[in-house]
Amino acid sequence: MTLAVVDWGIGGLGFYRLFAARHPGVAVVYVSDTGFTPYGKVPRRELAARVDRVLRHVGEMHGAAHAVVACNAASTVLCDLKIVRDGMRVTGVIAPAVAALADAAPARIGVIGGRRTVVSGVYGRALRGAGHHVRQRIAQPLSAHVEAGRLDTPDVRGDVARILAPLRAVEVLVMACTHYPALAPLLAERCPAAALFDPAAATLAHVEREWPLADGGAPHRFLTTGDPEAMRRSARLAFGVGLPSVEAITI
């Protein structure tokens, strides 16, 4: 099989790194769509159309029949994707995360994410329904810091302190943006009593449980609609992932 991993930027590399460590022989095509407007700033219908177009590209050009949309903002529009109705198997990162958290004992949970993710209420509704006390914070600047490779500067520390100030008492902190695990040390400093929850692990468990992961021996490919060198730099600085090469594409 060939697995597509799609994100606006490099955040999905957190999932990719986990997946590749466990399934190095499964072919992966990673797409970073930084040549397009940041997904969190796009109207819902336009975002669904764009994600559809990206997934159709990796399906037709690279043979991917399974895809992980490793972006919380894009995961909020999965039910609108036409390509799912056409047969591609697609999962986002929200549903696996919510399912894993719903099975846990009731707790004080903090959720930090981009504006679209938080305003959609997808985490809050599901987690409150499972008996958790939930408080959410929009953490929009953090993904931009990570995308630029800024992990521990005064500006980053200031933004983290401001965003997490009301969440110091939470027992679980959900990193509802795939970029945020790159800032885990700073998040842990500000919420020292909280267990950090990364949806990437729950997503990997879902993929392993639901899909056949047959080794194909094909090399992993990295594509971007943006700047290949910027992607390689950001991947190295933020996630410690050395990308051998990045191909520029137009979608």
Residue 50 has what DSSP assignment? Answer: H
**109 pairs with which residues across the strands?**
134, 172
For this structure, is 79 an active site residue? no
Of 14, 49, 43, which is closest to residue 180 (Cα–Cα)?
14
Q: Which of 26, 90, 177, 249 is catalytic?
A: 177
Beta strands in the chain, from DSSP E residues, in sequence order: 2-7, 27-32, 66-69, 89-91, 108-113, 133-138, 172-176, 195-197, 221-224, 247-248
List Cα–Cα distances, 64 to 30, 58, 99, 143, 156, in angstroms.
Answer: 11, 6, 26, 27, 37
**175 pairs with which residues across the strands?**
112
Q: Count CB atoms within 10 A of the CB of residue 36.
A: 18
Q: How many residues does the chain have?
A: 251
Q: Which of 71, 163, 246, 249 is catalytic?
A: 71
For this structure, is 177 an active site residue? yes
Of 41, 10, 198, which is closest to residue 119 (Cα–Cα)?
41
Mode of pairing for the β-strands spanning 27-32 and 66-69: unpaired
Catalytic positions, written as ranges: 71, 177
